[in-house]
Structure 1
């Protein structure tokens, strides 16, 4: 059985980068979960920082450089994608968006995608839902239910149910789609009906 192709797109600007660190952890988690099922995975990492000039030139000339073209072909041929961006001004980075602007608009159709982001504060975690998820929905990708956000404080935490738990859950959902099964969210958070929340607020007044 041929190994599955997993492409990881990471838009960190510094080296080392927390965005690259999160990308690596997600890729490793997906690889482990599929290995447990006897499936091999070829992981290809695309560092957008190294393609910044090529991406800009593509907008001006209308043609990708050989290096950029090779990465665009890798995205198109992938069985699944992990896309990770730093959050700037409550949204994805310009470099991240520019790369997906030059990806063919049919390349991600039906392709499983795990979205993730890094930022300095947990307040920006909703950027995954109001910026990244709609963008990949527009590109007709199949985005897994769990998105992973890592704030600066997450890296030092001992977190069985924090960052590590979110990584494992999202990786499991992507692995299921790569293995040909519908992705299911394994979240165990209790959902409290709105009427019950409203009644509790009234009782406090």
Structure 2
């Protein structure tokens, strides 16, 4: 399921930047499917209220070598720098990672280690994760939430976890996953309103 394309922006009007970061490493990736589901719903909610949206997805696996190089010797490629700036300048952020050994993937963490944490303060973030079984559901609260709280983000109360049982064979969400995604996206959009009011 492809992510929603960016909406055209009238001259002189700044679009709301919605960036999704997916840490999936397999192909096809259920993590990417979950990321697309959340991004599509966010764009649809905002568009329904007349908000212009610039939506994009960053695949962390596309930057794996650059992330390693930047971590070890401090040299960043232009592509990696653009990806990091997109995250830092986003108005709304959606992040999703597969579960490895009870936590987020290493490349997902390494990517966010390179993000300027000061640019993340008060940024609304929706947390999501995928795993083989529902036993990994707590990864959102035990691993992801502390990471983004450290950076000072405004974290959406509802996290979205999806296991194999939450998808059809064609990678369409089951009704209960779709419902939870709707609830989380609704909170993310309201967080954007609260930040604008503040």
Q: Which residue of 2 aligns with 1:171?
A: 185
Q: Does 1:138 align with 2:168?
A: no
Q: Which residue of 2 aligns with 1:199?
A: none
**What is the DSSP-based 3-state SS (H/G/I as helix, E as strand, rest coil) of the residue aligned with 1:56?**
helix
Q: Does 1:80 align with 2:92?
A: yes
Q: 2:15 and 2:159 mapped to 1: Cα distance?
A: 25
Q: Does 1:147 align with 2:154?
A: no
Q: Does 1:36 align with 2:16?
A: no
Deviations 1:11-52 (Å, cap 9, x if unpaired)? 110122100000000000011111111112111110001100
Deviations 1:102-127 (Å, cap 9, x if unpaired)? 11121211100000000100000001
Q: CA deviation at 1:60?
A: 1.5
Q: Which residue of 2 aligns with 1:20?
A: 32
Residue among 130, 133, 144 paired with 1:121: 133
Are residues 62 and 181 of structure 1, via their aligned partners in 2, closer, same or farther at CA, if it must alter by over 3 Å? closer
Q: Which residue of 2 aligns with 1:90?
A: 102
Q: CA deviation at 1:147?
A: 0.1
Deviations 1:139-177 (Å, cap 9, x if unpaired)? 1000000000000000029843x1001100001111112
Q: In the alignment, is the contact (CA less than 8 A) between 2:167 and 2:174 conserved in 1?
A: no
Q: CA deviation at 1:181?
A: 6.3
Gapped regions of structure 1 (runs ≥ 5): 183-205
Normalized against structure 1, the TM-score is what? 0.84
Q: CA deviation at 1:180?
A: 3.6
Write the mapping of 1:187-202 to structure 2, written as runs, cut at 5 A.
Answer: none
**What is the DSSP-based 3-state SS (H/G/I as helix, E as strand, rest coil) of the residue aligned with 2:119?**
coil
Q: Which residue of 2 aligns with 1:8?
A: 20
Q: 2:155 and 2:130 mapped to 1: Cα distance?
A: 18
Are residues 153 and 70 of structure 1, via their aligned partners in 2, closer, same or farther at CA, if it must alter by over 3 Å? same
Bigger CA radius of gyration: 1
Q: Which runs of 4+ in 1 moved over 4 A?
A: none
Q: Number of aligned pairs?
A: 181
Normalized against structure 2, the TM-score is what? 0.87
Gapped regions of structure 2 (runs ≥ 5): 1-12
